[in-house]
Amino acid sequence: MTLPRATLRLQLHHDFTFDDALAHVDYFDALGVSHLYTSPVTTAQPGSMHGYDTVDYGTVSAELGGETALRRLSAKLHERGMGLVVDVVPNHMGVGGAHNAWWLDILEWGRHSAYARHFDVDWHSPDPALRGKVLMPFLGAPYGEELEAGRIELRFDAQRTRFVVAYGPHVCPICPADYAALLQSADRADLAALAASFHGLTTQPDDQQRAAHARDALREYVERNGTEPIDFVLEAYASADPVPRERLHKLLERQHYRLAWWRTATDEINWRRFFDVTALAGVRVERHEVFEAVHRLVFRLYADGVIDGVRIDHIDGLADPREYCERLRQRLASLRTEPPYIVVEKILAQGETLRDDWAVQGTTGYDFMNDVGALLHDAAGAEPLAAAWAAISGSDASFSEVVLDARREMLAAYLAAELDHAARALHRIAREQPATRDYTYASIHRSVAQLAIWFPVYRVYPVHGMRTATDNHYFDIALDGARRTLPRAYRAALARVDAWLGASAPASDAERPDAGAKATANAAGGADTTATSAASNASTRATAGGADRAPHATANANRHGNAARSAADASIATNGPLSHTLVAQRTALALFSQLTAPLAAKATEDTAFYRYGRLLSRNEVGADPGDFARTVEDFHAANQLRQRRFPHALLATATHDHKRGEDVRARLAVLSEIPDQWSATLRAWSTLNQPHRRNGNVNSPLGSTDWAPGPEAEAMLYQTLVGCWPPDLAAGDEAGVRALAERVAQWQLKALREAKRRTNWLAPDEAYEAGCRDFLFDILAPQRRDGFLHELETFVARIAPAGVSNSLLQTTLRITSPGVPDLYQGTELWDFSLVDPDNRRPVDYAQRAAALGDDPPSARLAQWRDARVKLGIVQRLLALRTRAPSLLRDGAYLPLAVHGEHAARVIAFARQHGDERAVVIGTRLATPLLEDSALPLVAADRWGDTAIELPPGFADARWHDWLSDASPTIPRTRVVAVRDVLAALPVAVLSNLAPKPKTKTKAT
């Protein structure tokens, strides 16, 4: 297995291509990372800035440079002993537009398309207008308005020889079964002759072949005569006049899609989306042929040695994440001798852990980001800050209560169609048996809704259609909430829904013990089966610690998997309704899981995080703001658990999805140490800026909401300004302050719409939004340089040293804790970014390369504002990982006891592998010790008698501090005074290994 030593995440797009990355390989190598870790490399929608809207899984993006450039980058990395990990997006594809061939084929041929079962489309919609059709909710206004305005047009695509309906960038093919009527409408003999070859066409596969031959004749005609004759056809359907407009409408009504206003998607969409993003359609990767098609390019690149590992995006969107991971590992393992490196993007709730049977190395690091972020917060600040927020917002609701309200709203206003799909799947089960057919759709719908609202984690992960004990732990929490919320009359329906969602097998199937092994459900859209059970039993379930066993099971697993598919199909064919009931249950369970996951994300990350403002540094992806702070013991326990279960998981503190940059959060965490001072500051600033409020009584008391931005949004704005104010920005720098205001305005608009209080994405209140923007620019106007701007700058300067101390600790812990440290592009210097797109701005790699050096980070502390001290720590600690890869990769993790006056302000642990040792020491909650200090360093005399106790055997060695180049002596008592080891920096990493002259070490 090519285990990364450290990764660096790159966001690729047309302005930062493979060749752009190639140009900086020398820097990445010198910094010390072993692997680049890129955003998706497959072909995405044109102009995509992220790559998650894949339109062609089979090709490398030409906008990124194509496969030749990818191979060029890979070859350069491998020359340096480095590697390449790529992001894979198996859950969804970009649709709409004109570039997804699979999707366009579905629009053209409907249910009989070769790709009809590649997507989660419900072809049996209860709405007659959608039965057998795909909803296309991409119109900017109601269908009738757009049709009458002439913005829906019939066109002829000469390059592909097909008629299409075009709306802006969106293209919808006309079914060839309608070509005969289209060609005849021109009233030309030559076109009428061509029409004859299209007569009588249906959507059946044989007729699709006949249509292809008829198209060849049409292509030859156009090549001879040009497209001018075809213009007569288009004129017959031009929508400027009522008669041709009605003809166009009737043509559209005959197609396998329904063009609709974008607002209809919430209630009527009949295919699975990524969350509520209608431009991304869910892919049925659980189907064997779809799995192979989605990964064909990845498998070829892996087999050729171009890529060395994969990161799986949004694992919770899949019908069966466990089965997917297992199958992926088997396929990759069959292509190379070493086991594959696989990590998954997974959001874990408080107390939740990644399942052991997923056959992956671990997560992409959100869980570590939460652990280390909570460590930086002072638990004593939780209650005072909560009280201050209650006074501002007028509500003392806890974060969990805010989330519950958001969940209710999301189900009703944003995910109503997804809830309907899950409820209807269960209602179909009810109708199959006499004993349950009187459970109404309404009672089932209410039960499913309440279960989803109260569900405490993203989803369940059943095995063979049955919930596990872990699943039941979380499901029981949801059941309890639903029982307390629903009227007693609905409890019987709730109990049946519980049983259907994996609590027990169907009663009629329970008598057949083999039934559960014969079929597994796929996502919505049919009773297809996959090889989950037999493949799972045949394979070796490789976890991070035993992944090298996976290749030995591959051949047998594939054999048994094929047998399982055949057995399942045979079971359904011979046993009829009984097996169909089982399949229907598993389909419903998949739909329920694919409802609770986006509901959790939308309600928490994209709504509640923007409504609850106690302290925004805890409102981060993967975190629970209600879980305000963690103790040192908590952090140690999390590291030890990861070391035992997933020692090669990624460790992240910044990502392309973060809400606030790692150094924004580190600075805001300081407010937890000074809650009273911060509360007083908020009140003073609110009073100072009252004259700049908009749209109401400018003298409104704090707590009134009849003005823009309103008390909650204003308080969050102040936190944001404090968090992201650049260290080197002066209040008198008009251009610099203006640039900051533009960035914050972009964040503010997104925050207001995500909060969904007074404006939202569906129905924006532009007047309110403009008032909020005006308020922001007024309080940051140049004339306020001696007023609010001065106050803001002064306050930031006061807490900045403690924030920097937090940042340096966070950086150190990420690189020395069990796992694989991941650097998000550019964050080796200060990361005061906000939510995307701010966190995806261009990176100045020349500046970073120039900041590399041989001097110790401690020598850079005095100039901490330029961030070179942070980069120096990254460079030095990655050098230590290169010098002794096994020490920080596989070494034992030993929490160290700290005693004395300020023991709570120190974290310390040791790593040991054979004779190699390291001791990591860091400062936390340092604000009281940094009073009046311009440096992020606690003066030695303030530590008093605080000391660290080292393990036995750690005294008899020569020690080197990799961050200061000091050579401390460890006394035989093994008790080390903190004032001695933290004299040069707020962090220290001591090792009995000294740096060697720089030589290249291959990634292992």
How far is residue 895's CA from residue 240's CA, in Å, rounded to a whole number?
A: 76
Cβ neighbours for 671, distance < 8 A, ≥ 6 positions apart:
381, 385, 615, 617, 678, 719, 722, 799
- For 129-166, write each residue's pLDDT tens digit: 999 999 999 999 999 999 999 999 999 999 999 999 99
Give the residue from 234, 16, 244, 4 showing the smallest Cα distance to 823.
Answer: 4
Strands 916-923 and 987-991: antiparallel
User: Tell me, what's the pLDDT at 927?
Assistant: 98
The answer to whether residues 594 and 282 touch, using CB atoms and an 8 Å cutoff, is: yes
| pLDDT over 50 at 241, yes or no | yes
Report the SS3 class of residue 54. Answer: strand
User: Tell me, what's the pLDDT at 998?
Assistant: 54
Report the SS3 class of residue 218. Answer: helix
User: Tell me, what's the pLDDT at 956?
Assistant: 78
User: Tell me, what's the pLDDT at 303?
Assistant: 98
Q: Please check whether residues 260 and 144 belong to one and the same domain.
A: yes
Choice among 56-60, 536-540, 830-834, 958-962 with the minimum mean pLDDT = 536-540
Q: How far apart are the first and last CA of the chain?
A: 8
User: Tell me, what's the pLDDT at 997?
Assistant: 64
pLDDT tier at 391 (50, 70, 90 boundaries)?
A: very high
Q: Please check whether residues 740 and 869 belong to one and the same domain.
A: no
Range from 386-395, 522-531, 966-975 that averages highest in pLDDT: 386-395
Q: Please check whether residues 980 and 896 belong to one and the same domain.
A: yes
Q: Count Cβ atoms within 10 A of the Cβ of residue 348 and give its class: 0-12 exposed, 13-18 middle, 19 or more buried.
A: middle
Give the residue from 300, 275, 208 showing the smallest Cα distance to 657.
Answer: 275
The domain boundary residue, chosen from 227, 246, 274:
274
Cβ neighbours for 895, distance < 8 A, ≥ 6 positions apart:
632, 633, 636, 640, 908, 909
How far is residue 910's CA from residue 888's CA, in Å, rounded to a whole number?
A: 10
Assess if residue 232 is contained within a domain. yes
Assess if residue 715 is contained within a domain. yes
Task: Kindly give the residue spans of alpha helices, DSSP state H, lying in 226-365.
Answer: 228-236, 242-253, 265-268, 288-303, 321-333
Assess if residue 843 is contained within a domain. no
How far is residue 711's CA from residue 393's CA, in Å, rounded to a whole number?
A: 7
DSSP state string for 827-878: TTS----BSTTGGG----HHHHHHH--SS-GGGGGGGGGGSHHHHHHHHHHH
For residue 419 the two structure tokens come to 């809830």
For 372, left (φ over 0), alpha (ψ -120 to 50), or beta? alpha
pLDDT tier at 240 (50, 70, 90 boundaries)?
A: confident
Give the residue from 274, 285, 295, 279 showing the smallest Cα distance to 86.
Answer: 295
Cβ neighbours for 194, distance < 8 A, ≥ 6 positions apart:
183, 214, 217, 218, 221
Angle at 909 between CA 905 and CA 914, to 5 degrees: 165
How far is residue 610's CA from residue 409's CA, in Å, rounded to a whole number?
A: 14
Assess if residue 208 is contained within a domain. yes
Strands 92-94 and 987-991: unpaired
User: Tell me, what's the pLDDT at 50?
Assistant: 96
Q: Please check whether residues 754 and 857 belong to one and the same domain.
A: no
Choice among 534-548, 567-581, 590-604, 686-700 with the minimum mean pLDDT = 534-548
How far is residue 519's CA from residue 513's CA, in Å, rounded to a whole number?
A: 12
State mean pLDDT over 915-921.
Answer: 97
Strands 83-88 and 54-60: unpaired
How far is residue 183's CA from residue 359's CA, in Å, rounded to a whole number?
A: 56
For residue 303 the two structure tokens come to 């087999």
User: Tell me, what's the pLDDT at 945?
Assistant: 97
Edge-to-edge strands, sheet with 820-824: 362-363, 341-344, 309-312, 83-88, 35-38, 7-10, 820-824, 650-651
Give the residue from 486, 428, 427 showing the smallest Cα distance to 452.
Answer: 486
Strand partners, 160: none
Task: Kindly give the residue spans of alpha helices, DSSP state H, lying in 317-464.
Answer: 321-333, 366-375, 382-393, 399-413, 416-432, 441-454
Q: Please check whether residues 883 and 772 belong to one and the same domain.
A: no
How far is residue 19's CA from residue 23's CA, in Å, rounded to a whole number?
A: 6
Report the SS3 class of residue 173. Answer: strand
Q: Please check whether residues 126 and 259 belong to one and the same domain.
A: yes
Give the residue from 373, 376, 379 showing the smallest Cα distance to 799.
Answer: 376
Assess if residue 720 is contained within a domain. yes
Q: What is the CATH number of the domain that holds 135?
A: 3.30.1590.10
- For 785-808, write each residue's pLDDT tens digit: 899 999 999 999 999 999 999 999
Task: Kindly give the residue spans of alpha helices, DSSP state H, lying in 505-628.
Answer: 532-538, 554-575, 577-604
How far is residue 130's CA from residue 949's CA, in Å, rounded to a whole number?
A: 70
Assess if residue 380 is contained within a domain. no
Strand partners, 918: 911, 991
The answer to whether residues 819 and 894 touch, using CB atoms and an 8 Å cutoff, is: no
The domain boundary residue, chosen from 274, 293, 313:
274
User: Tell me, what's the pLDDT at 705?
Assistant: 56
- Report the chain's mean pLDDT, rounded to a whole number: 91
| pLDDT over 60 at 429, yes or no | yes
The answer to whether residues 38 and 85 touch, using CB atoms and an 8 Å cutoff, is: yes
Q: Please check whether residues 256 and 125 belong to one and the same domain.
A: yes
User: Tell me, what's the pLDDT at 957?
Assistant: 81
Assess if residue 33 is contained within a domain. no
pLDDT tier at 220 (50, 70, 90 boundaries)?
A: very high
Assess if residue 229 is contained within a domain. yes
- For 287-322, write each residue's pLDDT tens digit: 999 999 999 999 999 999 999 999 999 999 999 999
Q: Please check whether residues 754 and 861 belong to one and the same domain.
A: no
Q: What is the DSSP letter of 951?
A: P
Q: What is the CATH number of the domain that holds 745?
A: 1.10.10
Give the residue from 374, 238, 279 showing the smallest Cα distance to 44.
Answer: 279
User: Tell me, what's the pLDDT at 832?
Assistant: 98
Strands 273-274 and 916-923: unpaired
User: Tell me, what's the pLDDT at 696?
Assistant: 57
* CA torsion angle 665 667 670 674 (round to 10): -110
- For 689-734, write each residue's pLDDT tens digit: 999 998 754 444 444 557 999 999 999 999 999 999 999 999 999 9
| pLDDT over 70 at 574, yes or no | no
The domain boundary residue, chosen from 274, 306, 328:
274
Q: What is the DSSP letter of 673?
A: G
**Range 224-231 contact pairs with CB under 8 angstroms and sequence separation of 24 or more:** 225/190, 227/156, 227/158, 229/186, 229/188, 229/190, 229/191, 230/156, 230/186, 230/191
The answer to whether residues 596 and 455 touch, using CB atoms and an 8 Å cutoff, is: yes
Range of the domain at 175: 101-274
Q: Confirm whether pTM is higher than 0.85.
A: yes
Q: What is the number of other CB atoms lying within 10 angstroms of the CB of residue 392? A: 22
How far is residue 480's CA from residue 3's CA, in Å, rounded to a whole number?
A: 43
Q: Please identify which residue in the block is written with the tokens 């198996």.
A: 90
DSSP state string for 425-441: HHHHHHHHSTTTTTS-H
What's the structural domain count of the chain?
3
Percent of the chain with pLDDT over 90: 87
Strands 362-363 and 341-344: parallel
Cis, bond preceding 46 (omega within 30 deg of 0): no
| pLDDT over 80 at 687, yes or no | yes
Q: Please check whether residues 873 and 960 belong to one and the same domain.
A: yes
- For 752-785, write each residue's pLDDT tens digit: 999 999 999 999 999 999 999 999 999 999 998 8
State mean pLDDT over 604-633.
Answer: 97
| pLDDT over 80 at 925, yes or no | yes
Q: Please check whether residues 770 and 858 belong to one and the same domain.
A: no
Percent of the chain with pLDDT over 70: 91
Q: Please check whether residues 775 and 882 belong to one and the same domain.
A: no
Q: Please identify which residue in the block is written with the tokens 């701007």.
A: 789
Q: What is the DSSP letter of 593?
A: H
Report the SS3 class of residue 622. Answer: coil
How far is residue 369's CA from residue 630's CA, in Å, rounded to a whole number?
A: 12
- For 75-110, write each residue's pLDDT tens digit: 999 999 999 999 999 999 999 999 999 999 999 999
Q: Please identify which residue in the block is written with the tokens 């059709």.
A: 133
The answer to whether residues 314 and 363 touch, using CB atoms and an 8 Å cutoff, is: no
* CA torsion angle 112 113 114 115 (round to 10): -120
Q: What is the number of other CB atoms lying within 10 angstroms of the CB of residue 231? A: 12
Q: Please check whether residues 231 and 127 belong to one and the same domain.
A: yes
Greater pLDDT, 529 or 139: 139
pLDDT tier at 972 (50, 70, 90 boundaries)?
A: confident
How far is residue 709's CA from residue 717's CA, in Å, rounded to a whole number?
A: 9
User: Tell me, what's the pLDDT at 530?
Assistant: 37
